[in-house]
């Protein structure tokens, strides 16, 4: 059976689709799973043994996308994130069974629509994705290994050794990733991240690294201008997202807002300290990582200045306890 799974939005969103892909492959080992994704997620999809093929949504026209889908000869599609363009393309490609959430105008182009009401946040995003798979496979096991995103020990070791050599890292890494991204709409400012790092810089046997990705140039410049005497190094991610994932897998702790890199860290099994907006839609109740929940230390940043300061002080104490 040829199966199409669509999750063609951002990095963190695609990570939440991995459990759905995994359980489907385990349920039907002989099926052929193709994912339609954004180009940024290509290296992650190709690293997953439970994904057989990758199609990239590069913004091609609806008819061009439909022709690509038609060539896949798909028996069924699961659209975990839908818009009108991908809905029409699947309809034009005449995929016999097309399953998607019953939302937006796009739903009219699917022939099996599942009422979910994700805005009510009755479950995490990855669980909503699994729910769509259950619509076609009600007896499917929803269990998946943690960490789910796995690389060979040799690949992880080689990546980390090169990183340590280039940055002269000698101790376990506490990584701060201060940039915004994904669905995050709450974060500490760069001065607050520096203060957090200062609160642990005298702890023994750790190295503090501030990591930055594409588009984080302003954050990098602000950090360099304001870091003062903070004993921290910086690293700008190079290569693919999968390459960065291999590096994160070796960190002792990854500290960030609720962006795609947080989801990567959780997926590879790295402990996280993550900051979410104080709203249901953007909370960890919806956007928790797919990894071991006991390794996720999540905080919702309130809008009230006094409450924000109280939380910041709590985070400082918790951070020291996590590391010591």
> What pTM did the predictor assign?
0.95
Query: What value does the mean pLDDT take over residues 139-150?
Result: 98
The residue count for the chain:
324
Chain centroid, CA 142 distance in Å: 19
C-alpha 163/C-alpha 176 separation (Å) is 16
Per-residue confidence (pLDDT) for residue 180, from 0 to 100: 66
How much of the chain exceeds pLDDT 90, in percent?
Answer: 91
Tokens of residue 70, six digits: 């038609």
C-alpha 324/C-alpha 320 separation (Å) is 6
Asked if residues 167 and 235 have their Cβ atoms less than 8 Å apart, the reply is: yes
Domains of the chain: 2-136 (3.40.50.2000), 153-323 (3.40.50.2000)
Tokens of residue 125, six digits: 């995003």
Per-residue confidence (pLDDT) for residue 215, from 0 to 100: 85
Task: Give the least confident one: 46-50, 68-72, 141-145, 221-225.
Answer: 221-225
Q: Mean pLDDT for the chain?
A: 95
Per-residue confidence (pLDDT) for residue 89, from 0 to 100: 98
Per-residue confidence (pLDDT) for residue 264, from 0 to 100: 98
pLDDT in tens, 152-161: 999 999 999 9
The DSSP element (H or E) to which 287 belongs, if any, is helix 284-287
- Token pair 């790092």 is found at 197
Which is nearest to 179 in space by CA: 247, 250, 240, 234?
A: 234
C-alpha 32/C-alpha 176 separation (Å) is 38
Pairing relationship of beta strands 173-177 and 112-114 according to DSSP bridges:
unpaired
Which is nearest to 69 in space by CA: 35, 99, 38, 101?
A: 35
Per-residue confidence (pLDDT) for residue 309, from 0 to 100: 96
pLDDT band at 182 (very low <50, low <70, confident <90, very high): very low
Find the DSSP H helices in 47-188: 62-71, 84-92, 125-136, 153-167
Query: What value does the mean pLDDT take over residues 221-239?
Result: 94
C-alpha 43/C-alpha 47 separation (Å) is 6
Q: Is the pLDDT of residue 1 over 50?
A: yes
Per-residue confidence (pLDDT) for residue 181, from 0 to 100: 52
């Amino acid at each position: 059976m040829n199966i199409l799974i669509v999750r063609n939005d951002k990095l963190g969103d695609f990570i939440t689709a991995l459990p759905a892909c995994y359980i489907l492959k385990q349920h039907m080992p002989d099926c052929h799973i193709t994912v339609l994704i954004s180009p940024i997620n290509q290296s992650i999809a190709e690293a997953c043994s439970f994904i057989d093929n990758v199609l990239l949504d590069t913004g091609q026209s609806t008819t061009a996308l439909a022709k690509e889908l038609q060539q896949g000869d798909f028996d069924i599609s699961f659209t975990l994130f839908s818009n009108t363009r991908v809905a029409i393309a699947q309809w034009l490609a005449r995929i016999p069974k097309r399953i998607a959430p019953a939302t937006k105008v796009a739903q009219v182009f699917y022939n099996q629509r599942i009422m979910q009401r994700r805005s009510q946040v009755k479950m995490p995003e990855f669980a909503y994705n699994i729910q769509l798979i259950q619509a076609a496979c009600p007896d499917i096991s929803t269990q998946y290994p943690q960490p789910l995103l796995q690389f060979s020990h040799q690949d992880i070791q080689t990546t980390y050794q090169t990183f340590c050599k280039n940055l002269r890292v000698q101790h376990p890494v506490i990584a701060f990733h201060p940039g915004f991204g994904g669905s995050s709409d709450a974060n500490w400012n760069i001065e607050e991240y520096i203060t957090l790092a200062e609160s642990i810089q005298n702890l023994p046997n750790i190295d503090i690294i501030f990591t930055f990705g594409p588009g984080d140039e302003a954050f990098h410049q602000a950090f360099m201008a304001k870091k003062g005497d903070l004993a921290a190094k910086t690293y700008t991610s190079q290569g693919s997202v999968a390459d960065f994932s291999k590096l994160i897998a070796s960190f002792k702790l990854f500290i960030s807002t609720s962006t795609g890199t947080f989801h990567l860290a959780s997926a590879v099994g790295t402990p996280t300290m993550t900051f979410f907006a104080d709203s249901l839609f953007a909370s960890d109740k919806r956007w928790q990582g797919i990894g071991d929940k006991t390794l996720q230390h999540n905080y919702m940043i309130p809008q009230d200045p006094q409450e924000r300061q109280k939380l910041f002080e709590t985070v400082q104490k918790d951070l020291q306890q996590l590391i010591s």
